[in-house]
Amino acid sequence: MKLANVVGSGPNGLSAAIALARQGVRVRVFEGHTVAGGSLRTEAATLPGFRHDIGAAVFPMAVASPFLRSLPLARHGLDWIEPEIPLAHPLPNGDAVALFHSLEETANHLREDGEAYRDLMQNIVRAWHDLIYEVLGPIFHLPRHPFALAGFGLKAFQPATTLARSHFRTDRARTLFAGLAAHAVVPLDSLATSAVALVLGATAHTGGWPIARGGSQAVADALVGVLGSFRGTVETNHWVSSVDDLPPADCTLLDVTPQQFLQLAGESLPLDRRRPYVKFRRGPGICKIDWALSSPIPWQNDLCRRAGTIHLGGSEQEIVASEVDAFEGRDNDRPFVLLSQPSLFDPSRAPAGKHTAWAYCHVPNGSTRDMTPAIEAQVERFAPGFRDVILARNTRTAPQMEAWNPNLLGGDVSGGAMELSQLLRRPKLPPYSTPVPGVFLCSSSTPPAGGVHGMCGALAAEAAALHLGIPLPPLRPQR
């Protein structure tokens, strides 16, 4: 029987482990924390009875993922909850723009830009279950659906600012698109930032933007359950400082960043083989707040009271400025804020009648600045009286996010800057193998990059399986 070690039990490490284990490989996962999951953790961060997702919390890419959709996660306790509206974005004039489950409802909501939105999204949505494998598949592969991919690519390759301004006439539509594109965590005039907006828009119209009942720890627990069904094991409280310290195995997969790989590989790695990993650029960090609330957030606009996720950026111009500043190392006093209010849809998150919410903004990598005043000012701007309903808060700056999960270097939750050039080489080709024989990277620092979809792990497992002489069956679109 072949043996494999996996270091790190984030969604990619667990996905890599499952992909190998279900082909008969004996897999052992080593996790330094007390519980498995990486950034999939739910904790009592504020007051007794309030449960908070400290890391990943909203899962559009998980329900879209060809790999995760192939797993019996519901059988292992995972229950997705879909908010009434995936996303709302309040505007300075008291209006709000929203992304609905229905493409047609979203188009009608965008009024004079409705036909433009329909034209932009309808072919992507129609081909989505075929297209998602092309989007989340290997960087270089023979497309199964070349025409769908080509149609998507012509739009996706453009900078978000270019596509929004050429396609939409109104600030409402441009602002909605900019908020979606800001999930790329790079300046919105960068090539291919439209891809992120298009993908997130398509997920809303196909699978949704769900949360996990009880918190994101339920996603990790379900993945561990699936792994256990194939006799894979997870050993927590086992910190690995060197690959040489691991038990003997036929291959090892590391759910870590390139910089951490260098630490695990040790000084024996020659300088010229270390250089690509040293040069790998980190993305901006985040500053995050978890709140315990006495009542729901008092949004001015009713759409925001019905949405699971809220984007707070005011206008396209504000969002563009905020993301440029974070990427280029500058502070911004009016940051683009991503907010979620899970207890509106999952009462298990808080005591009866009480609520939870969280929000974060992008900051320069490693910034020690506490953005609590700026983030809460953005919420108060669109929900007057918000501060009056705060019972307690827990703020983590970018370095504190790294202390909570060492994979989040400088607070970077994307596994590295999502620039097009770096996405293509993250950090070398082939992207999963390393200079250490039999050792592979399977983290979000490899294609197709950040997001809870498990595809980095699944694709790294394919490379490891080839090394083992055990080809994995190809993933197929799950309808």
Tens-digit pLDDT string for the chain (479 aa)? 999 999 999 999 999 999 999 999 999 999 999 999 999 999 999 999 999 999 999 999 999 999 999 999 999 999 999 999 999 999 998 999 999 999 999 999 999 999 999 999 999 999 998 899 888 877 665 566 676 778 888 999 999 999 999 999 999 999 999 999 999 999 999 999 999 999 999 999 999 999 999 999 999 999 999 999 999 999 999 999 999 999 999 999 999 999 999 999 988 788 888 888 888 999 999 999 999 999 999 999 999 999 999 999 989 999 999 999 999 999 999 999 999 999 999 999 999 999 999 999 999 999 999 999 999 999 999 999 999 999 999 999 999 999 999 999 999 999 988 877 776 665 555 689 999 999 999 999 998 988 999 999 999 999 999 999 998 887 765 55
CB atoms inside a 10 Å sphere around CB 374? 18
Which of 267, 279, 240, 339 shows the shortest CA–CA distance to 6?
240
Residue 478 Cα to chain centre, angstroms = 21
3-state SS assignment for residue 360: strand
Strand 355-363 and strand 285-293: the pairing is antiparallel
- Mark whether 146 and 188 lie in a shared domain: yes
Residue 176 lies in a domain: yes
Single out the residue in 388, 413, 438 at which a domain terminates.
413
Domain coverage including residue 247: 3-32+238-281+414-468
Residue/partner pairs of 397-400 with CB below 8 Å, 24 or more apart? 397/287, 397/363, 397/367, 397/368, 397/369, 397/370, 397/371, 398/285, 398/286, 398/287, 398/363, 398/364, 398/365, 398/366, 398/367, 398/368, 399/366, 399/368
Token pair of 463, please?
């490379």
DSSP assignment, residue 444? T
Residue 265 lies in a domain: yes
Q: What is the CATH number of the domain that holds 251?
A: 3.50.50.60
- Mark whether 132 and 17 lie in a shared domain: no
Specify which residues 3 forms β-bridges with: 26
- Mark whether 87 and 119 lie in a shared domain: no
Residue 224 lies in a domain: no
- Mark whether 350 and 407 lie in a shared domain: yes
Residue 244 lies in a domain: yes
3-state SS assignment for residue 80: strand
- Mark whether 419 and 389 lie in a shared domain: no
Conformational region of residue 295, where left means phi above 0, alpha means psi within -120 to 50, and beta covers everything else: beta
C-beta separation of 254 from 8 below 8 A? yes
Q: Which residues contact 163 (CB under 8 A, 6 or more apart)?
A: 155, 177, 194, 197
Residue 273 lies in a domain: yes
Token pair of 25, please?
């490989």
Cα dihedral 312, 315, 316, 319 in deg (nearest 10): -40
- Mark whether 304 and 265 lie in a shared domain: no
Residue 53 lies in a domain: yes
C-beta separation of 57 from 426 below 8 A? no
Residue 233 lies in a domain: no
Give residue 479's pLDDT: 52
Q: What is the CATH number of the domain that holds 292?
A: 3.90.660
Give residue 273's pLDDT: 85
- Mark whether 358 and 370 lie in a shared domain: yes
Integer angstrom CA distances of residue 134 from 118, 205, 457: 22, 18, 16
- Mark whether 294 and 404 lie in a shared domain: yes
Q: Which residues contact 221 (CB under 8 A, 6 or more apart)?
A: 36, 37, 76, 77, 78
Single out the residue in 394, 413, 432 at which a domain terminates.
413
- Mark whether 145 and 245 lie in a shared domain: no
| Separation of alpha carbons 363 and 105, rounded Å | 34
Give residue 478's pLDDT: 52
Residue 213 lies in a domain: no
3-state SS assignment for residue 181: helix
| Separation of alpha carbons 461 and 478, rounded Å | 19
C-beta separation of 287 from 370 below 8 A? yes
C-beta separation of 441 from 277 below 8 A? no
Burial of 78-99, coded b for 16+ CB within 10 Å and e otherwise, reads bebeebebbbbbbbeeeebbbb
Give residue 248's pLDDT: 96
Q: Which string of DSSP letters, residue by residue, matches 134-153?
A: HHHS-SS---SSHHHHHHHH
Token pair of 69, please?
């959709």
Instruction: Please tell me the total count of domains within the chain.
Output: 3
- Mark whether 90 and 56 lie in a shared domain: yes
Give residue 424's pLDDT: 62
- Mark whether 126 and 182 lie in a shared domain: yes
- Mark whether 393 and 429 lie in a shared domain: no
Integer angstrom CA distances of residue 103 from 195, 204, 211, 393: 18, 9, 21, 36
| Separation of alpha carbons 463 and 156, rounded Å | 27
CB atoms inside a 10 Å sphere around CB 126? 14
Burial of 421-445, coded b for 16+ CB within 10 Å and e otherwise, reads ebbeebbbeebbbbebebbbbbbbb
